[in-house]
Structure formats: structure tokens, C-alpha cells
């Protein structure tokens, strides 16, 4: 636990936080207000929110985006977790390469990826069909930087080598070692990676719109042209859902920030 | 060092994969590609209209794209066709633009969801004739020359004139374009899209050019007019939608007369006028059949339906001018009330040629940003 | 550590192959396609498309993008640093801190369309604040739709730049040990001297690095701008949109490649700077 750093406390802090709170909460309040207005401006209605389920277009888009999120998380975990564990155990020379590749999507904007992926996706569509779910391939790339950091942080906090050697010496195969020994110990990192990936996928617009797929954000924009109320309701719903997701994550990982490394002998730690 | 070996392996893999993706996937032809319907250039080739109807019903479905229900009454057209022939119509991406239709056809080539027919603007149509299949409808002779491609690759389907639609409850009456520079129109005038992107907005600027001393070859006065409009604070760079019109955010909209007319049906105070201070700008849309249509017979039946008296009158009901309008008026098969109700035009309509379009588009691409910012 | 090429090494590298292939197909090849597409013309190599980047409209879009990114990066960095400073005194496990960091994560990650609609709902034509201002006789907040122009984008971008700054800068502020302040005070430094001579120089690389990250974030942002600005291509990402979807000016897919290439270059330069600054930061602020 780090010592609390310098910073104002008490009423000075409260005073400083007020303008920020106002700036950030006003648009959210406005969204809540806007999405429950009737057209004439009198009274309240939940039509905008009801449309999230009643309107077939939005409902289908919500399902599509949720499906995309699930697929992306699965793909990302299947790709990243074994690779990163393996790198730590057997191929440490690849650490820098993997790190560079995983952080590369931060430098290559989604806009560039969607322009350059046209040829690749002609093949993807030919093999897998034109369901929007094929976007999960490129979405996995988009979430790599965040997922990598989360899982890497968790892997750094446990001694993978010792654990796996112990497991192997007791007769466990590689599959069992990874699945039943290492993974439960990096669970907070995996959860963190999964939740952030879900947030990114649900909010993704660039690639879906320019590649011509109908995911949640694309449909929100389309609907926004005709029915502002429902579009704002959908946007607020996504924000609230993401907030609940990330708050849950921070609650779940609260007790797991303890490290398992031995204390340094000279007692010097912050 | 194994690092170099890995790098070498990666390089080989990437080069080969890159070469592989650079050439597209094998274009899988769908089951119907070789069928009789796909190569039919008229109903006679298949043995008459009844045979065509039977073949289409056997296919059972039709894929259309970019046809909003309130655009020239397409909602009712689709429903009438589906009910009449018992063929399921899949209407994809109603808000897509002409280029999106071509993109979708290319991307979904060989798939059962590829678009069967296109309804696109002039530039996109003329640039993509290699994707169309030639077909001449039964009423081919009624379409004037110059409005159809001689082998039937494309035919003009409906058109209109650029008009000014305005909410008479919110702004004073408008008869000509220069009226819009008045201070009563502050923050009121909108174009239907960005002229460098959307055909309707492009024609709007062309209309302004014709009203200010320009011509089909010279769109600069049109751009200058919008600059004046912007400086007066009258121009809003917001896409008009039924929502913005009804809320009053865009009380004046420059758009095709049939699209503005659709709004009058919803908002009685919405009036449509073709400005009198310049030659009217005419624009027709182009109808074509996808060469690789997954439902070739249904696509051809759709074409026959659109150019039949019934289909043409349905377009007229949407406020658009059907291409066979004059011939039908002579034959007495047109819906006379609606035909007479179409806005009158003064002066000879101007339809820019493809070359004029391209020159104007290039000028806009270079100069429009300076106006709108 | 050098290792000779043995069978074991190949076996060790093999499980990494799926990962590399996946990245190759979905990241490397698109990037290479963009670069290749921008320097080739009908099969042979040519610099025509890149030359088109120096055209008036393209240059204007680049300049506006840079301006928008720089302004929002600086505003976001300063305000975000202040906000981070305000919350750093709570322990990391306190409810308050966790709620605030969750909110910041959501706002920084979600961005895009949701925020565009949030602002339309606030100061759009029928926005809540606009209506309230009208009812109390205040200024006309909607005006001629400035929200849908670059000015509007500055306001909306700031909304997600500040949380991003908080997330990125908070660890650096945390690394500022209380002991250092105590040591400085015990040596006779005033608060001002502490900030200008101890904390300032320590935080500067982190602050500058975070600002660069914010710049790259704003520069590459597309969704918010696309949702707000439906007419005009004032900034680079929107110009790419027009190049890909316009039905008026055709055959611009190649121009889109050149524009995308330009984006990669700018963002890459910024990220290299960011990397260098992060390395300097990590020396002191573990």
C-alpha cells in the first residue's frame, strides 16, 4: 500500500471537485432528461427506453454487439493468455516482441486499420460469411493493448516459473498447469482484460461503420437522425452499463492487489 | 540467433500472405448465375411475362438496398410488389448512399444477401456499368432516348427538380433563392448532406450556381452563394431529417422536390417551391440489375414492375416524376390528379452531363471546405 | 543471452506461432496495405497520391486536426492533472477513489457516439441547457449549430481527454513520495520551491508524455467527430470518411490510403516521443 501522496483534503478538495463534477454530470443528466421527454415537452415517457427492446433494429444491434463482445473476449483470452504464459516460461526472448506487437494498435488508429483491412476482410467474408460477428477478429486487435497490460500486470505479480515447475514436477501436463494452476492466480488480470474489452467493443463505431456492419453504435447514429430520444436512451444505457461493469471489476479485484513476492530484506518498500 | 530465424520466417510468411490477400478470394458464383434468368435480356428470352413471374416466385426472394420507405414512396412500392407476387423483399441499409450499394455488391459477391438491383445516382451509375446486366423491360419504348443505355445496362427510373422546402409557420414565403439571404432566415437553411458526398446536396449547389449567373460548367457562383449565406449566419451545416424538420431545427431545406413533398405529407405547413431565379436543376436516378444477382429472375420481375403503369404511378404518388410520365399522360394511364399536382417549372431544366459533374465535383472538393469550414 | 539454434528452441517458439499469425493477418497486413496503397497507382509505384496530400483541402484538414488535437491535449492535460491531484489523497482502495477511476475509465474508453449524443442532449437545438437558458432569458447556446463544427469538437473532446489524463497521470502522482516532501521541508524549502525544484521536474516527463498521448488520442479519434459533424470534412479522419463513402467525388479509395498513411506517420512520431518520455519517468516514479 503506497503512502497517501500530497494533495488537498477536506473542504478545499470538495471545492475543487465541484466544477469537475458539474462538467461531467451535466451531460449525463441531460441525456437522462432528453431520453424521457415527450415530443410536446410535457410530462415524462419511457418510450425511448422501451424502444431498446421493442424496436427490432436496436434490439438486433444490441444482441450483435453483445455477441461481438463475448466473441472478442473469448478470442482475446485464447490468444493472449497461453501466449503470455508461454513467453514467461519458455520463450523470454520474445517478451519485447510481444509487448511491441500488443502496444502497436495504440499507434495504428482504428481508422487506418479499417482502410487497410478491406482486402483481408474479403477473404474473411468468403470463409466465414457476412455476419457482423466476423468483426471480432479485428476487435481482438483493438483490445490487445489494454488486455496485454492487464494480464501482464497480473502475471508479474505471481511467480509463474515456480508455480508451473511445482505443478509439472507433481505430474501435471501443460494444459492442467495453465488452466488449473496459473489462470486462477491471474484471475484479476483476466477479469480486468475481459471487462475493458467488453467496454471497448460495445463502444466501437469506427470500424463497424466504415466496413458497413450494423453494430450498436452504428444503429444508434442511424436512429439518431430520426428519433433522438431513443438514440440518447441507448447511448446512456451503454455508458451506464460500462460504468457498472468497471465498478464491479474494481470491487471484485479489491482484495487481490496483494503481491505474492517475498518482502525485501532491507525493509525498503513504499 | 533464433531471433533472426524467427524474423526470417515472419518475413516469408508475411510476404506470402500479403501476396495472397492482394489478390482477392476466388469469386464464388452462386447457384443462379448460370441459370437462364441471369442471361435474359428481356422477358421474351424466358418465354414471356408469365414464365418470368414463375421463375421469380421460384427464387422466392429479392434483395434491395438503400431504399428508404419515405423516398419516392418506396415503402409502398416494396409492399405492393411483395404482396402481388408473393416474393419476400429484403430491404437492407435504407440509409446507405449510392456508393455504398456498389460497395455492398462487391463485398458480398456470390453471397445470397448481395443486392439484386441498384437505384443509384448519376456519377456512381456511369462509373460502374461493368457491374450491371443488360435488360430491356416490356415498356422500353416509352422511355425517351438519352434516359436509357442502349443495351439496357441502366435506365432512368424517376427524377425531380431541386426545390426549396420551407416551413411556412416559421419563416416567410420563399419564391427564389435570393430570398434566403434575408435576416429572417438566420440559422435556418440546410442542404441535404455535404455536396462533396451526397448527390442531392451537390445538385443544391448547382441550383444556386444557375440562380447566380453560373451554368452547368461553372459551379463557382453556387459556392459563392453559400459563402454569402454562411456569412449572413443563415446556413446551418446540419443534415435535415424528419426529426430536425419537425422540431424546427431546419426550417428550410434544399432538396429534391419529391423528398420535400414527402415531408408535406407529414407537416401540412411544409411548402415546396422550385426557385424562379434560375433554370431548374433536374436529376434522375438510375435503375440497374446486378450482373451477379443472387435472384436474377426476381430482379428482372422487379424491373418490370417498376416500369409498369402501376409501378410508375406509385412513384408518382411519392411526388417523383416517373420516367414514362409523358408517355403515360398521352395514353391516359397516368394518375392525372397527382401528375397535375407536381410543381410547375419555368425555364428549360438543366441536367449536367457526366463531364460537367466531374468538373464541378473537383471544384467543390477543392473549395467547399473553405466555405463551410 | 545467446542461444544456439536447437530443436528445443523451435519447439519453444512454436506455440507462439498462432499469436504471430493472427497479428500478421489482422494488423500488419492492413497497415502494410495502407502504406502500399498510398504509394502505388494501377500496379506500379508512384507518389501521385502522396502528392495529393499537399492539396489545399488536405493540408487544411491536417492543420485543423493538429490544432484540435493540440488544444484538447493541453486543456485535457492541465485540467486532468488538477483532477488527478484532487483525488490522489484518497487511498487507492477507498470507495470514492474507485468510483472516480471507474467513471474515468468509462468516459475515456467509451467516448465516441455516446458522448456526441450527450452533448447534443445538453446544448443541441432542443438540449436541456439550451432550453433552460432560453427560459431564463440567457444567451442562445445553440446559435447556428457551433456544436457541429470544430469548435464544438474541442468542447466534446475535452470531455474524454480529462478522464484519460487522470488515468494516465495518476500513477505518476502516486509515485511522488510523501517522504520527499518531508525531506525538502526539513531542508528548509518552501512549498513553492518544493513544487518548482523537486516535484515539478519529476512530474514533467510524465506530464509531457501524457499530453502527447492525449494528442495522439484526439488525432486518431473518429467516432465522436463522425457522430457530430455530418457535413464538411474539417479534420483528417472525416476526410477519410468522405474519401471512402462519397457518391459525388468517386475513385477516392486511393486518396483514403494516402490520408491513412499520413495519420500513421503523425501518430507514430507522437508515440515515439511518448515512449521516450515514459522511460524517463519510470526511472524515478516507480
Chain B residue with minimal CA distance to A96?
B3
Q: Name which of C102, C165, C19 is nearest A141 in CA terms.
A: C19
Q: DSSP string covering C152-217, please?
A: HHHHHHHHHHHHHHHHHHHHHHHTS-HHHHHHHHHTT--HHHIIIIIIHHHHHHHHHHHHHHHHHH
Q: Name which of A79, A121, A72 is nearest A98 in CA terms.
A: A79
Q: Name which of C167, C148, C164 is nearest C156 in CA terms.
A: C148
How large is the ipTM?
A: 0.84
Q: ∠ at Cα C144 (B163, C242), nearest 5°? A: 65
Q: How many CA atoms lie within 13 A of B303 on its CB side?
A: 36
Q: Name which of C108, C227, C210, C223 is nearest C160 in CA terms.
A: C108
B141 is written with which cell numbers?
419504348
SS3 of C77-108: the string is: HHHHHHHHHHHCCCCCCCHHHHHHHHHHHHHH
Q: Name residue, grid cell 409492399.
A: B79
φ, ψ dihedrals at C188, nearest 5°: 95, 10
A151 is written with which cell numbers?
494480464
State the Cα–Cα distance between residues A265 and C113, nearest whole angstrom. Answer: 52
State the Cα–Cα distance between residues C44 and C42, nearest whole angstrom. Answer: 6
Interface size, chain A vs chain C, as Cβ–Cβ contacts under 8 Å:
271
Three-state secondary structure call for residue B287 = strand
In chain A, what are the domains? Answer: 26-256 (1.10.3720.10)
Q: How many CA atoms lie within 13 A of B22 on its CB side?
A: 15
Counting as contact any 3 or more CB pairs under 8 A, the partners of B are A, C
Q: Can you name the residues that pair with B91 across neighbouring β-strands? A: B64
Chain B CB contacts of C24 below 8 Å: 10, 13-14, 17
Q: What is the pLDDT, as a whole number, of residue A66? A: 95
Q: What is the pLDDT, as a whole number, of residue B225? A: 94
Question: Chain-centre distance of CA B175, in angstroms?
Answer: 26
Chain C CB contacts of A243 below 8 Å: 102-103, 106
Q: What is the pLDDT, as a whole number, of residue B265? A: 82
Chain C CB contacts of B368 below 8 Å: 232
Write down the domain spans for chain C: 50-285
CB-based contact B135:B127 (threshold 8 Å): no
State the Cα–Cα distance between residues A13 and C58, nearest whole angstrom. Answer: 46
Chain A CB contacts of B20 below 8 Å: 123
Query: Tell me, which fold does domain C50-285 have in CATH?
Result: MetI-like fold (1.10.3720)
Three-state secondary structure call for residue B166 = strand
- Asked if A93 and B24 come within 8 Å (Cβ–Cβ), the reply is no
Contact of C125 with chain A, judged by CB distance below 8 Å, is answered with no
Report pLDDT digits (tens) over B96-131.
888 888 888 887 777 788 899 999 988 889 889 999
Contact of B8 with chain C, judged by CB distance below 8 Å, is answered with no
Q: How far is CA B158 from CA A150, B71, B123, B356, C235, in A?
A: 57, 11, 16, 21, 36
Q: DSSP string covering B33-50, please?
A: GGSHHHH-SBGGGGTSHH
- Asked if B107 and A212 come within 8 Å (Cβ–Cβ), the reply is yes
φ, ψ dihedrals at B270, nearest 5°: -85, 115
Q: What is the pLDDT, as a whole number, of residue A259? A: 35
State the Cα–Cα distance between residues C48 and C63, nearest whole angstrom. Answer: 21
Q: What is the pLDDT, as a whole number, of residue C111? A: 65
pLDDT in tens, chain B (373 residues): 455 555 655 566 666 666 655 666 665 555 555 567 888 888 888 888 999 999 999 999 999 999 988 889 999 999 999 999 999 998 888 878 888 888 888 877 777 888 999 999 888 898 899 999 999 999 999 998 888 999 999 999 999 999 999 999 889 999 889 999 999 898 889 998 888 888 889 999 999 999 999 888 999 999 999 999 988 889 988 888 887 888 788 899 999 998 888 888 888 899 999 988 888 899 899 999 999 999 999 999 999 999 999 999 999 998 899 999 989 999 999 988 888 888 778 788 888 888 898 899 889 888 888 777 6
- Asked if C226 and A254 come within 8 Å (Cβ–Cβ), the reply is no
Q: Which residues contact C259 (CB under 8 A, 6 or more apart)?
A: C53, C58, C236, C239, C240, C243
Residue ranges, chain A, pLDDT below 70: 1-7, 39-42, 254-270
Three-state secondary structure call for residue B22 = helix
A228 is written with which cell numbers?
433522438
Chain C residue with minimal CA distance to B100?
C245
Chain C residue with minimal CA distance to B193?
C231
Contacts 24+ apart (CB under 8 A), A19-28: A20/C79, A20/C83, A20/C86, A20/C162, A23/C159, A24/C103, A24/C107, A24/C159, A26/C122, A26/C129, A27/C115, A27/C118, A27/C119, A27/C121, A27/C122, A27/C159, A28/A236, A28/A239, A28/C118
Interface size, chain B vs chain C, as Cβ–Cβ contacts under 8 Å:
120
State the Cα–Cα distance between residues A19 and C83, nearest whole angstrom. Answer: 10
Contact of C3 with chain A, judged by CB distance below 8 Å, is answered with yes
pLDDT in tens, chain C (286 residues): 444 556 667 777 888 899 999 999 999 999 998 888 888 776 677 777 787 888 878 888 899 999 999 999 999 999 999 999 888 887 777 888 888 888 888 888 766 888 899 998 898 888 888 888 888 888 888 877 788 888 899 999 999 899 999 988 888 888 777 888 888 889 888 888 888 888 888 888 889 989 999 999 999 899 999 888 888 778 999 888 888 877 777 777 778 888 889 898 999 899 888 888 877 766 665 5
Q: Burial-class residue C170 by CB neighbours within 10 Å (0-12, 13-18, 19+).
A: buried
State the CB neighbour count (10 A cutoff) for residue C132. 13
Q: Which residues contact A161 (CB under 8 A, 6 or more apart)?
A: A88, A89
Q: How far is CA A234 from CA A219, C116, C121, C222, in A?
A: 10, 12, 13, 19
Contacts 24+ apart (CB under 8 A), A165-169: none
Q: What is the pLDDT, as a whole number, of residue B313? A: 93
DSSP assignment, residue B145? T
Q: What is the pLDDT, as a whole number, of residue C200? A: 84
In chain B, what are the domains? Answer: 30-158+283-341 (3.40.190.10), 162-282+347-372 (3.40.190.10)
Q: In C, residues 149-188, which contact A (CB 8 Å cutoff)? A: 159, 162, 173-174, 176-179, 181
Q: What is the pLDDT, as a whole number, of residue C219? A: 93
| pTM: predicted TM-score of the whole model, two decimal places | 0.83
Report pLDDT digits (tens) over B328-362.
999 999 988 888 888 778 788 888 888 898 899 88
Counting as contact any 3 or more CB pairs under 8 A, the partners of C are A, B
CB-based contact C76:C161 (threshold 8 Å): yes
Contacts 24+ apart (CB under 8 A), C6-15: C9/B2, C10/B2, C12/A90, C12/A91, C13/A91, C13/A94, C13/B2, C13/B6, C15/A82, C15/A83, C15/A86, C15/A90
Q: What is the pLDDT, as a whole number, of residue A258? A: 39
Q: Can you name the residues that pair with B254 across neighbouring β-strands? A: B164, B191
DSSP assignment, residue B111? S
Amino acid at each position: 500500500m503506497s503512502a497517501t501522496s500530497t494533495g488537498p483534503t477536506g473542504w478545499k478538495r470538495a471545492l475543487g471537485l465541484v466544477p469537475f463534477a458539474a462538467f461531467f454530470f451535466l451531460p449525463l443528466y441531460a441525456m437522462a432528461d432528453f431520453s424521457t421527454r415527450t415530443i410536446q415537452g410535457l410530462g415524462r415517457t419511457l418510450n425511448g427506453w422501451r424502444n431498446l427492446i421493442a424496436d427490432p433494429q436496436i434490439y438486433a444491434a444490441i444482441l450483435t454487439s453483445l455477441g461481438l463482445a463475448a466473441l472478442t473476449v473469448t478470442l482475446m483470452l485464447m490468444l493472449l493468455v497461453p501466449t503470455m504464459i508461454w513467453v514467461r516460461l519458455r520463450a523470454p526472448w520474445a517478451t519485447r516482441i510481444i509487448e511491441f506487437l500488443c502496444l502497436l494498435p495504440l499507434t495504428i488508429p482504428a481508422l487506418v486499420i479499417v482502410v487497410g483491412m478491406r482486402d483481408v476482410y474479403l477473404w474473411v467474408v468468403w470463409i466465414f460469411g457476412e455476419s457482423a460477428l466476423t468483426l471480432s477478429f479485428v476487435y481482438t486487435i483493438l483490445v490487445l493493448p489494454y488486455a496485454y497490460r492487464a494480464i501482464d500486470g497480473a502475471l508479474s505479480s505471481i511467480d509463474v516459473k515456480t508455480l508451473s515447475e511445482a505443478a509439472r514436477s507433481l505430474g501435471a501436463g501443460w494444459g492442467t498447469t495453465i488452466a488449473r494452476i496459473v489462470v486462477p492466480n491471474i484471475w484479476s488480470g483476466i477479469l480486468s482484460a475481459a471487462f475493458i474489452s467488453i467496454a471497448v467493443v460495445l463502444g466501437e463505431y469506427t470500424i463497424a461503420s466504415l466496413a458497413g456492419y450494423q453494430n450498436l453504435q452504428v444503429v444508434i447514429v442511424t436512429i439518431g437522425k430520426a428519433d433522438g430520444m431513443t438514440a440518447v436512451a441507448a447511448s446512456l444505457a451503454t455508458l451506464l452499463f460500462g460504468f457498472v461493469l468497471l465498478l464491479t471489476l474494481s470491487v471484485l479485484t479489491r482484495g487481490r492487489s496483494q503481491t505474492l513476492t517475498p518482502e525485501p530484506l532491507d525493509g525498503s518498500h513504499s | 540467433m533464433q531471433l533472426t530465424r524467427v524474423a526470417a520466417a515472419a518475413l516469408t510468411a508475411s510476404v506470402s500472405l500479403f501476396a495472397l490477400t492482394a489478390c482477392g478470394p476466388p469469386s464464388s458464383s452462386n447457384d443462379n448465375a448460370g441459370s437462364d434468368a441471369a442471361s435474359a435480356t428481356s422477358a421474351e428470352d424466358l418465354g414471356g411475362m408469365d414464365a418470368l413471374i414463375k421463375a421469380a416466385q421460384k427464387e422466392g426472394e429479392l434483395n434491395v438496398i438503400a431504399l428508404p420507405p419515405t423516398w419516392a414512396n418506396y415503402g409502398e412500392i416494396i409492399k405492393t410488389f411483395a404482396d402481388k407476387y408473393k416474393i419476400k423483399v429484403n430491404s437492407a441499409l435504407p440509409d446507405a448512399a449510392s456508393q455504398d450499394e456498389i460497395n455492398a455488391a462487391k463485398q458480398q459477391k456470390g453471397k445470397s444477401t448481395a443486392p439484386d438491383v441498384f437505384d443509384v445516382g448519376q456519377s456512381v451509375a456511369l462509373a460502374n456499368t461493368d457491374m450491371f446486366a443488360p435488360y430491356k423491360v416490356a415498356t422500353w419504348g416509352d422511355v425517351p432516348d438519352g434516359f436509357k443505355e442502349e443495351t439496357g445496362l441502366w435506365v432512368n427510373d424517376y427524377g425531380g427538380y431541386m426545390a426549396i422546402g420551407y416551413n411556412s409557420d416559421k419563416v416567410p414565403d420563399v419564391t427564389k433563392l435570393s430570398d434566403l439571404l434575408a435576416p429572417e432566415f438566420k440559422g435556418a437553411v440546410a442542404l441535404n448532406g455535404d455536396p462533396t458526398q451526397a448527390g442531392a446536396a451537390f445538385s443544391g449547389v448547382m441550383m444556386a450556381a444557375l440562380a447566380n449567373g453560373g451554368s452547368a460548367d461553372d459551379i463557382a457562383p453556387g459556392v459563392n452563394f453559400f459563402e454569402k449565406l454562411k456569412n449572413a449566419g443563415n446556413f446551418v451545416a446540419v443534415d435535415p431529417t424528419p426529426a430536425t424538420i419537425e422540431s424546427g431545427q431546419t426550417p428550410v431545406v434544399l432538396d429534391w422536390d419529391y423528398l420535400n413533398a414527402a415531408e408535406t405529407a407529414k407537416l401540412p405547413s411544409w411548402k415546396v417551391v422550385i426557385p424562379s431565379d434560375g433554370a431548374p436543376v433536374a436529376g434522375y436516378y438510375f435503375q440497374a440489375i446486378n450482373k451477379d444477382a443472387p435472384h436474377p429472375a426476381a430482379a428482372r420481375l422487379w424491373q418490370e414492375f417498376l416500369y409498369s403503369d402501376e409501378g410508375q404511378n406509385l412513384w408518382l404518388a411519392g411526388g417523383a416524376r416517373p420516367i414514362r410520365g409523358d408517355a403515360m399522360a398521352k395514353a391516359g394511364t397516368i394518375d392525372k390528379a397527382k401528375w397535375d399536382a407536381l410543381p410547375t417549372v419555368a425555364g428549360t431544366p438543366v441536367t449536367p452531363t457526366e463531364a460537367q459533374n466531374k468538373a464541378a465535383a473537383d471544384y467543390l472538393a477543392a473549395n467547399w471546405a473553405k466555405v463551410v469550414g | 543471452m545467446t542461444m544456439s539454434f536447437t530443436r528445443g528452441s523451435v519447439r519453444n517458439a512454436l506455440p507462439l506461432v498462432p499469436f504471430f499469425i493472427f497479428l500478421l493477418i489482422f494488423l500488419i497486413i492492413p497497415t502494410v496495405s495502407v502504406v502500399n496503397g498510398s504509394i502505388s497507382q494501377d500496379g506500379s509505384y508512384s507518389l501521385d497520391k502522396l502528392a495529393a496530400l499537399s492539396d489545399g483541402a488536405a493540408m487544411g484538414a491536417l492543420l485543423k486536426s493538429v490544432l484540435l488535437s493540440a488544444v484538447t491535449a493541453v486543456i485535457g492535460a492541465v485540467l486532468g492533472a488538477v483532477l488527478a491531484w484532487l483525488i490522489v489523497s484518497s487511498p487507492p482502495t477507498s470507495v470514492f477513489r474507485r468510483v472516480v477511476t471507474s467513471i474515468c475509465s468509462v468516459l475515456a474508453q467509451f467516448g465516441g457516439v455516446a458522448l456526441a449524443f450527450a452533448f447534443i442532449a445538453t446544448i443541441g437545438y432542443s438540449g436541456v441547457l439550451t432550453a433552460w437558458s432560453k427560459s431564463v432569458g440567457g444567451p442562445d447556446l445553440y446559435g447556428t449549430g457551433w456544436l457541429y463544427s470544430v469548435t464544438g469538437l474541442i468542447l466534446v473532446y475535452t470531455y474524454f481527454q480529462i478522464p484519460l489524463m487522470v488515468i494516465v497521470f495518476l500513477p505518476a502522482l502516486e509515485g511522488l513520495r510523501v517522504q520527499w516532501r518531508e525531506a525538502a521541508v526539513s531542508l528548509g524549502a518552501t512549498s513553492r520551491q518544493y513544487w518548482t525544484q523537486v516535484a515539478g521536474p519529476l512530474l514533467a516527463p510524465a506530464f509531457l508524455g501524457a499530453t502527447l498521448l492525449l494528442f495522439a488520442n484526439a488525432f486518431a479519434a473518429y467516432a465522436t467527430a463522425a457522430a457530430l459533424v455530418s457535413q464538411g470534412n474539417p479534420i483528417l479522419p472525416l476526410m477519410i470518411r468522405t474519401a471512402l463513402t462519397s457518391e459525388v467525388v468517386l475513385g477516392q479509395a486511393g486518396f483514403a490510403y494516402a490520408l491513412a498513411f499520413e495519420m500513421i506517420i503523425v501518430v507514430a512520431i507522437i508515440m515515439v516521443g511518448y515512449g521516450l518520455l515514459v522511460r524517463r519517468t519510470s526511472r524515478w516514479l516507480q
